[in-house]
Amino acid sequence: MSQYGARGRALAGQTAPEILAHYFENTTLGSVATTTPVRILVLAGFASTAANPAKVIGLTGTWTVDGIPGTWPAGASARLVRVTSPTPAWQLRIVSSSGKLLLRTRTGSSVRIRPATKSTRLQLWSKPSQYDTYRGTIRLVGSSTGTVSAVNETTLDLYLRGVVAVEMPASWPIEALKAQTIAARSYAVARLHPKTGSWDVRDDTSAQVYRGTLGESTRATTAILATSGQVLKSGSHIVTAMFHSADGGATENNENVYVSATGGFVSPPVSYLRGSADRAPDGRSYDATSPHATWQTAAYTLDQLSAVFDADPRTNVGTITTLDLTRVGVSGRLISVTLTGSLGHLTVSSEIFRAVFNTYTPATDPYMWSTLVATAPIP
């Protein structure tokens, strides 16, 4: 789904189901429980030491630790650190907001901190980001090397509150926000594996960006509540509903996007990830308001391009004589590029071609924003 395209379609009067039906062909709306558990990896490989331990603070309310009797006051913190004396072990320390030690005990490598009241939020003090406060539980998991990871365990629609307004501006039309919500909910559920591992999704762009309570917005929450539990299904399966910023007037078939380093097909076609034109009846692209809806690179001679692509062994063919840009998908995007030069020829995926170009052209030159590129303007 093109997010700017969804915005344009919503402004044109389309509803969220209509928007989603375009981007995800042959899908239907289904439902899941809004309380479905989700485990989000929010910190990995933290080097916990006595001077700088992995630390969680209970904010605005009391909290508990699984297996430890008692309820701890707002402002107090739980600290997990690896100690070596008298024998190697994990130690949990609970410290008040004034610095008073309330508890010191040996523990296992996994510690769950839970809010004791509905208003309690947990702050992962050790996370190197301002977006460090969460609903639900935080589980600290120590490794054999002494590092600590943190997993926020919450429920599906509470998780979405920290996703939707981060992935799409909350000021956008409500039908676009609803479409984003259903896509994000579907994407998350498709990646759940509750019986294996200690987490389901990361909180970054390797999945979808999640910023906890500090990423929430009233309008995004309205869209979440209005689409409560709704997901996209292909047959009986919940789809991996991929989304991206813009599409330049057309989306692409999945098998043409996810290819090998040389542009070979590595995945079969997915029925609901089919490329198609994304334009209004008057021919205007629905994502025309994107800041990168139109763009162009600088002009280069073959000698200049030779210097650019010679800088990377994957594209070094000596003095370039031709660039074959004819292998394209249904959207017109490049699948692969064949470079021919004095040293022979090489074929690389379009993304490698783009990455090398952007890395080795002058930093002041315009960026190649996508693989929808040719040597002449594209309508």
51 and 131 fall within a common domain:
yes
160 and 38 fall within a common domain:
yes
Nearest Cα to Cα of residue 243 among 325, 189, 186: 186
Q: What is the C-alpha separation between 83 and 101, in angstroms, rounded?
A: 17
Q: Let me know how long the chain is.
A: 379
Cα pseudo-dihedral 10, 16, 18, 20, rounded to 10: 110
224 and 371 fall within a common domain:
no
Among 238, 260, 282, identify where a domain stops.
238
129 and 225 fall within a common domain:
yes
The confidence score (pLDDT) of residue 376 equals 84
Nearest Cα to Cα of residue 11 among 167, 165, 169, 173: 173
Number of domains in the chain: 2
Torsion sign across C-alpha atoms 355, 303, 293, 233: negative
210 and 281 fall within a common domain:
no
Residue 150: φ, ψ to 5°: -130, 135
Domain carrying residue 348:
246-379
The confidence score (pLDDT) of residue 119 equals 95
Q: Whole-prediction pTM value?
A: 0.94
For 14-75, the DSSP string reads --HHHHHHHHSTT-EEEE--TT-EEEEEEEEEEE--SSS-EEEEEESS-EEETTEEEEE-TT
Quote the strand ranges of the chain, DSSP E: 28-31, 37-47, 54-59, 63-65, 68-72, 77-83, 89-95, 101-107, 110-115, 121-124, 133-134, 137-142, 147-155, 201-202, 230-234, 237-238, 320-324, 336-341, 344-349
Among 220, 238, 256, identify where a domain stops.
238
The confidence score (pLDDT) of residue 87 equals 85
Cβ-proximal residues to 359 (8 Å cutoff; 6+ apart), any chain: 311, 312
CB 335 within 8 A of CB 265: no
Q: Which residues of the chain have pLDDT under 50?
A: none
28-31: strand order across its sheet:
28-31, 230-234, 237-238
- Helix (H) or strand (E) segment spanning residue 376: none
259 and 279 fall within a common domain:
yes
20 and 132 fall within a common domain:
yes
Among 191, 212, 238, identify where a domain stops.
238
232 and 295 fall within a common domain:
no
27 and 136 fall within a common domain:
yes
The confidence score (pLDDT) of residue 84 equals 84
CB 267 within 8 A of CB 252: no
For 195, the 3-state DSSP assignment is coil
Cβ-proximal residues to 236 (8 Å cutoff; 6+ apart), any chain: none
232 and 350 fall within a common domain:
no
The confidence score (pLDDT) of residue 140 equals 98
39 and 23 fall within a common domain:
yes
The confidence score (pLDDT) of residue 42 equals 98
CB 254 within 8 A of CB 273: yes
The token duo for 6 is: 């969804």
45 and 122 fall within a common domain:
yes
